[in-house]
Amino acid sequence: MSELTERPRRLRTTAAMRRMVAETRLHPADLILPAFVREGIAEPAPIGTMPGVVQHTRDSLRKAAATAAEAGIAGIMLFGVPEEAKKDAIGSPGTDPDGILQRALRDVRAEVGEELVIMSDLCLDEVTDHGHCGVLDERGRVDNDATLERYAEMAVVQAEAGAQVLGPSGMMDGQVGHVRRALDAAGHQDVALLAYTAKYASAFYGPFREAVNSSLKGDRKTYQQDPANGREALRELELDLAEGADMVMVKPGLPYLDVLRRVADVVTVPVAAYQISGEYAMVEAAAEKGWIDRDRAIEETLTAFKRAGADMILTYWATEFAGRLGRRA
């Protein structure tokens, strides 16, 4: 007879037992759907590097937003893709009230009202002809302070179009404070800011370039964080909070769970993680090859974010996975 008294396996004997003692639980309200809307197309355009994800038309985006609301997810984060001919050096579609992102914000607000939190990406990379997240100086470098002025203009236009949360994602120094002041001066004190606090210069953004028809040549290493640095994220966090961030984000997700945990351990505001395009594409590609169980891999990755401290998870599987959770209830 064994003398073992400690047997952790007793709590793993059945699915019901494992469910009862689970330390981490996912809920549809934890999830936010990133969605792309493209100008000048008549049908949704599949994104080849992200199987199952499309560039929406305005009509298909409205339907996707309604389906997301029915699934019970928390919000939708919109990215606008203008016609190529409209891009320029300063990203004019980003401040045009009739730009594709602003029209899409109004569309979604009309479709779902306040059933979803309507969020918008606040950056210039989708709307500039050079593909960088800011205005360039005469030497071709991103001009931080000139870019802040563009972000301020964009913020007001997006708020007036119906965005309830703005996501400043360009990693410019001072962006949160500059945008906050612009919003407040324009009477948009209730519009919240989800700061892209720790956004790393990652190889995993590759599929996103196709999703937004990026014009980028080169890289963004002079403004996005170095993947080698963890403490630096805490410095960025301190600055964003001091400037008025209502929520903070770590992006990408899985390669930076350690950073996510460190951020979650020291803040009192909600924390988000973004499961980005490359993370999505890896799972879909491996599943298509039959190398992994797709559904289990999706759940395991989302659980990892929650376990590491994320209150909110931006994922392209948001609506699908929320539906799966609903069927379990």
Is 199 among the catalytic positions? yes
In angstroms, the CA 98 to CA 10 distance is: 61
Task: Find the catalytic residue in 199, 221, 289, 306.
Answer: 199
Helix axes of 257-266 and 294-308: crossing angle, nearest 10 degrees: 30
The residue type at 150: R
Gyration radius from the chain CA atoms:
20
Q: Is residue 221 annotated as part of the catalytic site, yes or no?
A: no
Paired tokens of 301: 């990755």
Q: What is the distance between the alpha carbons of residues 264 and 304, in angstroms, rounded to a whole number?
A: 13
| Structural contact between residues 275 and 77, judged by C-beta atoms closer than 8 angstroms | no
Nearest one of 321, 316, 228 to 277, comparing CA atoms: 316
Long-range contacts at 176-179 (CB < 8 A, ≥ 24 apart): 176/239, 176/240, 176/243, 176/244, 176/245, 177/242, 177/243, 177/244, 178/148, 178/149, 178/151, 178/152, 179/122, 179/151, 179/152, 179/155
| Catalytic annotation, pick one of 63, 217, 221, 251 | 251
Residue 186 CB: number of other CB atoms within 10 A?
15
Give the strand pairing for 31-38 and 165-168: unpaired
> Active-site residue numbers?
199, 251
